[in-house]
């Protein structure tokens, strides 16, 4: 009894982990599955399975796009953190910092930046805020940790989704093979009745 409860809790935790991605149930007994309500013909079941497969493909596309965004965002955050650390070192000195900054696509401008304890960060949606260097560094470290955690979660969701692809493909093959066997059996019976 305790084992059942523990495995049930593990299953619930797994479902929460992949929230939004329906789990494909493996069809072990095709005969019993085809007798269930709504499974009138093999073609109808194959259409349902193909629809489910297409939904998984759509989810995979969305997750892959999120993964690409995160993979490009993480290096940008790391680079910004490096710049902040460099500015932190220069904060106590009077030396000007020589740098190049992006003015437009592929157009850079040379600048001399005096030591400062304030920076402006783009937050997105055309919003820029001024922060102390320490606050900006804390914010970016938090964002980096969140982005890394989200990337790991996306990887797990993509792995889970690949398992659902495989299960759905196997189910489609099993239903198709069941239908082929049923038709050949029906054809044999019809030919035996004729003779």
pLDDT at position 19 is 66
Residue 11, pLDDT score? 47
DSSP secondary structure letters along 40-57: -SHHHHHHHHHHHHHHHH
User: What dotted CATH number matches 30-172?
Assistant: 1.10.287.370
**Cβ atoms 117, 133 nearer than 8 A:** yes
Q: According to the model, what pLDDT value does residue 91 have?
A: 81
pLDDT above 60 (res 8): no
Domain ranges for the chain, please list them: 30-172
Q: What is the pLDDT of residues 99-109, one digit of tens each?
A: 888 889 899 99
In this prediction, residue 129 has a pLDDT band, given cuts at 50, 70 and 90, of very high
- Grade residue 38 by pLDDT with cuts at 50, 70 and 90: confident
pLDDT the model gives residue 2: 36
Mean pLDDT, the chain, integer: 87
pLDDT, tens digit (0-9, with 9 covering 90-100), for 75-91: 999 999 999 998 888 88
For residue 140, name the pLDDT band (cuts at 50, 70, 90).
very high
Token pair of 53 as six digits: 């497969």
Q: Give yes or no for residue 5 having a pLDDT over 70.
A: no
Q: Mention every residue, 6+ apart, whose C-beta is less than 8 A from residue 125.
A: none
For the chain, give the percent of residues with pLDDT over 70. Answer: 90
Tokens (6 digits) for 57: 């493909």
Average pLDDT rounded to a whole number, residues 110-129: 89
Q: Which helix (H) or strand (E) holds 113?
A: strand 107-113
pLDDT of amino acid 186: 87
pTM value surpassing 0.85: no
Burial environment of residue 98 by CB neighbours within 10 A (0 to 12, 13 to 18, 19 or more): exposed
Phi, psi of 40 (to 5 degrees): -70, -50
CA gap 71, 157 in Å, rounded: 16
**Of the candidate ranges 44-48, 68-72, 112-116, 178-182, the one whose mean pLDDT is the lowest:** 112-116
- As a whole number of angstroms, the distance between CA 7 and CA 76 comes to 41
């Amino acid at each position: 009894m305790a084992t059942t409860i523990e495995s049930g809790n593990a299953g619930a935790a797994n479902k929460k982990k992949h929230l939004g991605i329906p789990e494909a149930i493996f069809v072990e007994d095709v005969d019993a599955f085809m007798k269930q309500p709504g499974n009138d013909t093999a073609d109808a079941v194959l259409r349902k399975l193909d629809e489910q497969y297409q939904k998984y493909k759509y989810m995979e596309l969305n997750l892959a796009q999120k993964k690409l965004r995160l993979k490009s965002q993480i290096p940008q955050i790391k680079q910004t953190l490096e710049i902040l650390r460099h500015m932190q070192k220069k904060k106590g000195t009077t030396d000007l910092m020589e740098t190049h900054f992006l003015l437009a696509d592929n157009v850079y401008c040379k600048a001399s930046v005096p030591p400062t304890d304030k920076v402006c960060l783009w937050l997105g949606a055309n919003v820029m805020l001024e922060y102390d260097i320490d606050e900006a560094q804390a914010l970016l470290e938090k964002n980096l940790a969140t982005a890394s955690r989200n990337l790991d979660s996306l990887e797990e969701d993509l792995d889970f989704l690949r398992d659902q692809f495989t299960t759905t493909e196997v189910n489609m093959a099993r239903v198709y093979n069941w239908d082929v066997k049923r038709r050949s059996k029906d054809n044999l019976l019809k030919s035996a009745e004729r003779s």
